[in-house]
């Protein structure tokens, strides 16, 4: 073999071994990281905490900060700095002075409270039936609820609008005796129907986990099934009831479509809180500072509810998923 060929073979061997050595170093580095994280899980938790904290700050908290920043800007200013130049909290007082914003918030809170009470009452009865009783057609009915939960609410707006205005019969059978468009019933009725399936699924899961012996003991004492439901089943399923109620309340309070289109534009006509935010926009002017301040005020009830009841929500969701 010539000297040139031998040198060529040596060069190929050297290059190949170099690539293999680099791959081994990369693999060994990744393996060292994996072993280090397995032996010291605190490091892995710290990295995950930093990552999730960054995501939370970017997606959730920064929009709230930006709303506050806009609310602090002078009226008419569109070039908003990253850090507010002045802090004037009187803008939050002006929100209630210029429009009846308290009434707008009351309307949305009334919708949320009414729907939540109705959904928990009817959902508890349905959850008891599905979770603790055996009857023919149980599975198809549950499947129908699952289908309804994915049904687009917007597709029902036109028929409901015409029915609530007494233009067409309800279900083709009867016409409403009074026109309910523009009243709380026009909002409460469809939102109760759309939030009911989720509440039934949650309550069915929890009610089905209560031992039969506890209910039988209550019935031996003379309690009816309905009494056992409210005196035994519901108290023992408090995390599930709280979860269903809180999720329903938040869903209805933040709902826009039906509450906006089924009511008038003024607070006296049961307009929701979003109309209160839009009220600061006139034909020629837009008070972005007041709109931002009103948006922050509107968030307060939901924020308080989530902070106070976050343990119940987490407990309800985890218990419903893990219990057998």
* Three state DSSP letters for 221-242: CCCCHHHHHHHHHHHHCHHHHH
In angstroms, the CA 186 to CA 95 distance is: 27
Based on the fold, state whether residues 38 and 136 are members of the same structural domain.
Answer: no
Do 29 and 165 lie in one domain? The reply is: no
What is the mean predicted confidence (pLDDT) over 121-147?
88
Residue 33, SS3 per DSSP: helix
Answer for the pair 123, 319: CB distance below 8 angstroms, yes or no: no
Q: Do 56 and 162 reside in the same domain of the chain?
A: no
Residues 256 and 285 grouped into a single domain: yes
Domain boundary among 24, 41, 72: 72
CA distance linking residue 199 with residue 243, whole number of Å: 9
Give DSSP secondary structure letters for 255-297: --HHHHHSS-SSGGGT--HHHHHHTTB-SS-B-HHHHHHHHHH
Q: For residue 222, give Cα distances in angstroms to 24, 124, 216, 218.
A: 75, 21, 10, 7
Residues 69-95 have a mean pLDDT of: 86
Q: Are 137 and 240 in contact (CB under 8 A)?
A: no
**CA separation for the pair 29, 88 (Å, rounded):** 54
* In the chain, % of residues over pLDDT 70: 85
CATH number of the CATH domain containing 94 = 1.10.3720.10
User: Are the CB atoms for 233 and 203 separated by under 8 Å?
Assistant: no
Q: What is the total count of domains within the chain? A: 2
| Residue of 123 and 38 predicted with greater confidence | 123
**Residue 106, pLDDT above cutoff 90:** yes
| Across 104-108, 150-154, 186-190, 258-262, least confident range | 150-154
Instruction: Residue 100: give the domain boundaries.
Output: 90-322
Per-residue pLDDT band for 125 (boundaries 50, 70, 90) equals very high
Tokens of 96: 């209630």
The tens digit of pLDDT for each residue in 206-250 reads 898 888 888 888 888 888 888 888 888 888 888 889 889 999 999
Using 50, 70 and 90 to split pLDDT, how confident is the model at 264?
A: confident
Return the structure tokens found at 286: 């837009």
Both 283 and 183 in one domain: the answer is yes
pLDDT at 115 > cutoff 90: yes
The Cα 64–Cα 90 span in angstroms is 18
From 19, 42, 72, give the residue that closes a domain: 72
Looking at the domain assignment, is residue 46 inside a domain? Answer: yes
- Residues 225 and 270: their CA atoms lie apart, in Å, by 39
27 and 122 fall within a common domain? no
Q: Do residues 169 and 51 both lie within one domain?
A: no
Could you tell me if 60 and 125 lie in one domain? no
Whether residues 142 and 277 fall in one domain: yes
Q: Are 255 and 107 in contact (CB under 8 A)?
A: no
């Amino acid at each position: 073999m010539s000297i040139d060929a031998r040198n060529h073979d040596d060069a190929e061997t050297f290059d190949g071994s170099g690539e293999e050595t680099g791959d081994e170093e990369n693999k060994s580095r990744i393996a060292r990281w994996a072993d280090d994280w397995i032996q010291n899980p605190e490091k892995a938790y710290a990295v995950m905490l930093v990552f999730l904290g960054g995501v939370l700050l970017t997606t959730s908290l920064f929009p709230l900060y930006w709303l506050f920043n806009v609310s602090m800007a002078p009226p008419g200013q569109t070039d908003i700095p990253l850090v507010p130049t002045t802090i004037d909290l009187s803008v939050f007082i002006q929100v209630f002075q210029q429009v009846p914003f308290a009434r707008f918030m009351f309307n949305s809170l009334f919708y949320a409270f009414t729907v939540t009470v109705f959904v928990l009452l009817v959902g508890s009865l349905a959850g008891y039936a599905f979770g603790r009783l055996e009857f023919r057609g149980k599975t198809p009915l549950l499947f129908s609820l699952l289908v309804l939960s994915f049904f687009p609410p917007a597709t029902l707006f036109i028929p409901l609008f015409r029915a609530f205005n007494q233009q067409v019969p309800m279900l083709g059978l009867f016409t409403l005796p009074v026109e309910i468009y523009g009243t709380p019933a026009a909002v409460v009725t469809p939102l109760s129907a759309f939030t009911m399936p989720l509440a039934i699924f949650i309550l069915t899961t929890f009610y089905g986990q209560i031992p039969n012996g506890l209910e039988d003991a209550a019935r031996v004492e003379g309690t009816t099934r309905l009494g056992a439901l409210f005196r035994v089943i519901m108290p023992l399923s408090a995390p599930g009831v709280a979860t269903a109620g809180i999720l329903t309340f938040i869903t209805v309070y933040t709902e826009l479509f039906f509450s906006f289109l089924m009511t008038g534009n003024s607070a006296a006509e049961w307009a929701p809180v979003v109309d209160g935010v839009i009220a600061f926009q006139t034909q020629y002017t837009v008070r972005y500072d007041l709109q931002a301040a009103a948006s922050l005020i509107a968030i307060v009830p939901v924020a308080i509810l989530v902070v106070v009841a976050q343990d119940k929500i987490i407990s309800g969701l985890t218990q419903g998923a893990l219990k057998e």
